[in-house]
Amino acid sequence: MPQARSPAGPRSDQTPTHVGIIMDGNGRWAKARGLPRFEGHRRGVEAVRRAVRSATDHDVRYLTIYSFSSENWRRPPDEVAMLMGLLKRFIRNDLAELHRNGVRVRVIGERKGLAPDIRGLLEEAEALTRGNCGLTLIVAFNYGARHEIVTAARRLAEEVRDGRLDPEAIGEDEFAARLDTPDIPDPDLIIRTSGEMRLSNFLLWQAAYAELVFLPIYWPDFDDAAFLAALQQYAGRERRFGAVVEATAVMTAS
């Protein structure tokens, strides 16, 4: 089983390898303009397209978007149906272009219980783009980090029960290898729009050492300038991963 990658320092150009985005504020964007929530979600899909282009333009190698959380099923049924419709439309309309541009699509999250047509589209997107070597676009769909962590713990427990794993051999790498992202580097930067300052059950294990940037704009207004502003904040951070960076002593002759 692939092992999770250990945290690594930023590349020499200060560009994060992996960016995660919590896309927040579609409904509030629409409300502020006297528009129906549907319009906010529709404009949010346009912002996803811009984010993918920006990630490619700025040499980001992995982009994870929080498209639909496991808690989002609690929304009104008509809004959930609308979101499912937008997902179908995005995959049908954009998958070919993503494929032409070398984007590899990965989907994380619970698939059991999904409608067959939704599950089929997700699998089609992964299968078509599996051999691509450009940006990896990870779509967190029906995803919740606590559920992911519990599922990983259950897998380990089953392996111990069946005699396939010694409990003493379980460490961080062994645990991470049973998450949804065993072959994906941990995010260096997580961006959240709308001004809210929380992770909302997004990549809780993987985000242990991520830099967090909270932008005061709603997701439909997210553009390349906003992406660049977040990258600039990231470039100004000192990432120590729990270590202490010793200041260089300057010796002067007496």
Q: Catalytic annotation on 201?
A: no
Polymer length of the chain: 254
Catalytically annotated residue among 26, 72, 201, 224? 72
Q: Catalytic annotation on 221?
A: no
Q: Which two tokens stand for residue 181?
A: 């992202």
Find, among 122, 115, 54, 42, the residue nearest to 82 by Cα: 42
Q: Which two tokens stand for residue 161?
A: 């029960």
Q: Which two tokens stand for residue 185?
A: 């580097």
- Measured in whole angstroms, the distance separating CA 28 from the mean position of its chain's CA atoms is 22
Find, among 185, 188, 147, the residue nearest to 21 by Cα: 188
Residue 113, CA distances (Å) to 31, 59, 109, 121, 124 in order: 32, 36, 11, 14, 17
Catalytically annotated residue among 13, 24, 101, 162? 24
Tell me which amino acid residue 114 is: L
Residues serving a catalytic function are 24, 72
